[in-house]
Amino acid sequence: MQFRHDPVYASRRSPVLAENVVATSQPLATQAGLSILRQGGNAVDAAIATAATLTIVEPSGNGLGSDAFCILWDGEQLHGLNASGRAPSAWAPERFPQGMPQIGVNSVTVPGAVSAWIALSERFGKLDLATVLAPAIGYAEDGFLVSPVIAKLWANAAETLGDQPGFAETFLPDGRAPRAGERFCNPGAARTLRAIAQTGGKAFYEGEIAEEIASFLQANGGTMTREDLSAHRADWCGTVSQSFGDGELHEIPPNGQGIAALMALGILEHTAIRDHGPDDLAAIHLQIEAIKLAYRDLHAYVADRDHMIEIDEAALLAPEYLKSRAALINSAAAIDHGMGAPTRGGTVLLNTADASGMMVSLIQSNYAGFGSGVVVPGFGISLQNRGAGFNTTPGHPNCVGGGKRPFHTIIPGFVTQQGAPLMAFGMMGGPIQAQGHVQLYLRTQLWDQDVQTAADAPRWRMLAGLEVACEPTLSSEVIEGLRALGHVVTVETPDNAFGFGGAQLVHRLPDGGYAAGSDPRKDGQAAGF
């Protein structure tokens, strides 16, 4: 039997309608979340179980050394959690004369995903961590059958990361990446997950595991210390929002790129986009132009919120400022506003919702696929390369510094309507996430598409300058129309490597329950009961 990571024929999925739902990029993780809901857990418990399972069954996008963000509706109000890690205290611009490393021990910041699970469980969970982490522990210890998309990404990573400390020992059994349909076990990760459950995460940041992480990085030329790990905290940060029509899009405040989606929506409020359909040339042109303007400001100003001194999110979202930015759009021609979108991605995004009304959007990521490529042996901890998100430009708010959070690409999304929860959603894939949020918001809220149709729809992404990448499913008339307007269009065959993202969406229904959708570009699944 031949397993393909690319579809042979066009397919159609229907949205899943149920009282309790989980949508993720890997079916085993979806089922893990559902199993926790059936055991009496709530949507937060299901989200933690799903997130932990994804570190095992989708290591090509995240791991135990990832960062995470979350937006959740607890049944009464909205909360935002920033669990991204900070730079080791020894980091400074002069340490990186060649710029920030993209892989290796000196690209690793303090991993925050585990702290997200602990913070969520302590504040909102119903079940104990041992129960919630049990599905992930089982897949780590007993193994799982590798799915096709992940097998392809795994093989790609083996070529570039195979010589990084600990990578081959953990992720290349028999000297190669596992193929689709083969079983893979990660007993070290099972050991780590058990310690997390037993100590409420303390082992990871203060105990034996923290010692192993710091010692291994230092032994290979890194600077992270146990003190760097023990100083980490996840922050309840709330959300920032932008209204468009009857809805409000919510994002995590900087250091993430979610503010770019808010800016683009605010700019589009002052255009004629409502006069056009979802797949019309004019609508796509206006979105691309708005995204360009948002990304220009994103790269100039967005960083760790504590270091955005001169220009903060309030200034970037000021109505008059967004109106002035909209005035720069030419409806008849593409304009090069400079800058571009982030270029790397390796992320998982999940949504859960339960019959009580709790809804969760959680995202966690290694940044570039397997991240730094560095894996703590015996513990199965693949460490992210989020340090690559810094720059070394003196005076820039995102200039690297000890104890500072880097600019982040990963963003969960949430939509409310008149203060009530409406949709938990998001899109994995660094280069497209903020612009993907705009596309999904408009398709579901302006053009009234259901969540699965919005996930299935052809996508585009702005690259840099006048360059735009489009999926081949976008009509040839639109592609040629974009070129006629001055866009430099590349038609890319989807490679399932995050270029056009992987969307997951859960939308509340008027009569109760939810509609859930999962992106066909991934191995994923939306399911419920």
293 phi and psi, to 5 degrees?
A: -65, -40
Pick from 334, 329, 349: which is nearest to 433 by CA? 349
Residue 40: Cβ-neighbour burial (10 angstroms; 0-12, 13-18, 19+): exposed
Q: What is the 3-state secondary structure (H, E, C) of 119-151?
A: HHHHHHCCCCHHHHCHHHHHHHHHCEECCHHHH
Q: Which two tokens stand for residue 383?
A: 């460490």
Place of tokens 């522990």: 137
Domain residue ranges of the chain, discontinuous segments joined by +: 28-234+371-389, 240-344+411-528
Q: Please provide the DSSP assignment of 67-131 as one string.
A: EEEEEEE-SS-EEEEEE-----TT--GGG-TT---SSSGGGPPPP-HHHHHHHHHHHH--S-HHH
CA 96, 304, 467, 501 torsion: positive or negative?
positive
Q: Please provide the DSSP assignment of 279-311 as one string.
A: T-HHHHHHHHHHHHHHHHHHHHH-S-GGG--SS
The rounded distance, in Å, linking the Cα atoms of 469 and 463 is 7
Using DSSP's 3-state secondary structure scheme, residue 269 falls into coil
Residue type, 483: R
Using DSSP's 3-state secondary structure scheme, residue 446 falls into helix
Task: Report strand pairing: 347-353 vs 21-24.
Answer: antiparallel
Backbone Cα Rg of the chain: 21
Pick from 207, 184, 252, 233: which is nearest to 413 by CA? 252
Q: What is the 3-state secondary structure (H, E, C) of 342-396?
A: CCCCCEEEEEEECCCCCEEEEEEECCCCCCCCCEECCCCEEECCHHHHCECCCCC
Mean confidence (pLDDT) of the chain: 95
Active-site residue, selected from the candidate residues 109, 170, 192, 347: 347
Return the DSSP state at 175: G
Using DSSP's 3-state secondary structure scheme, residue 406 falls into coil
List, in order, residues 6 or more apart from 241 with CB less than 8 Å away.
248, 249, 250, 251, 262, 416
CB atoms within 10 A of CB 130: 13
The 10s digit of each residue's pLDDT in 109-151 is 999 999 999 999 999 999 999 999 999 999 999 999 999 989 9
List, in order, residues 6 or more apart from 320 with CB less than 8 Å away.
none
Topology of the domain comprising 240-344+411-528: Glutamine Phosphoribosylpyrophosphate, subunit 1, domain 1 (3.60.20)
The 10s digit of each residue's pLDDT in 428-443 is 987 799 999 999 999 9
Residue 340: beta bridge partners?
464
For the chain, the residue count is 529
Residue 386: Cβ-neighbour burial (10 angstroms; 0-12, 13-18, 19+): buried
Q: Which two tokens stand for residue 277?
A: 């359909």
List, in order, residues 6 or more apart from 431 with CB less than 8 Å away.
341, 342, 343, 344, 345, 461, 463, 498, 499
Pick from 284, 234, 259: which is nearest to 80 by CA? 234
**pLDDT tens digits in sequence order for the chain, 529 residues long:** 666 666 655 667 899 999 999 999 999 999 999 999 999 999 999 999 999 999 999 999 999 999 999 999 999 999 999 999 999 999 999 999 999 999 999 999 999 999 999 999 999 999 999 999 999 999 999 999 999 989 999 999 999 999 999 999 999 999 999 999 999 999 999 999 999 999 999 999 999 999 999 999 999 999 999 999 999 999 999 999 999 999 999 999 999 999 999 999 999 999 999 999 999 999 999 999 999 999 999 999 999 999 998 899 999 999 999 999 999 999 999 999 876 666 556 789 999 999 999 999 999 999 988 999 999 999 999 999 999 999 999 999 999 999 999 999 999 999 999 999 999 999 998 779 999 999 999 999 999 999 999 999 999 999 999 999 999 999 999 999 999 999 999 998 765 456 899 999 999 999 999 999 999 999 999 999 9
The rounded distance, in Å, linking the Cα atoms of 273 and 329 is 12
The rounded distance, in Å, linking the Cα atoms of 49 and 137 is 10
Residue 323: its H or E element: helix 319-326
Q: Please check whether residue 499 is in contact with residue 461, taking contact to mean a CB–CB distance below 8 angstroms.
A: yes
List, in order, residues 6 or more apart from 528 with CB less than 8 Å away.
16, 17, 18, 19, 20, 21, 22, 34, 514, 516
The 10s digit of each residue's pLDDT in 24-71 is 999 999 999 999 999 999 999 999 999 999 999 999 999 999 999 999
Place of tokens 């991240």: 371
In the annotation, is 493 catalytic? Answer: no
The rounded distance, in Å, linking the Cα atoms of 335 and 329 is 8
Place of tokens 């949709």: 423
Q: Please check whether residue 364 is in contact with residue 347, taking contact to mean a CB–CB distance below 8 angstroms.
A: yes
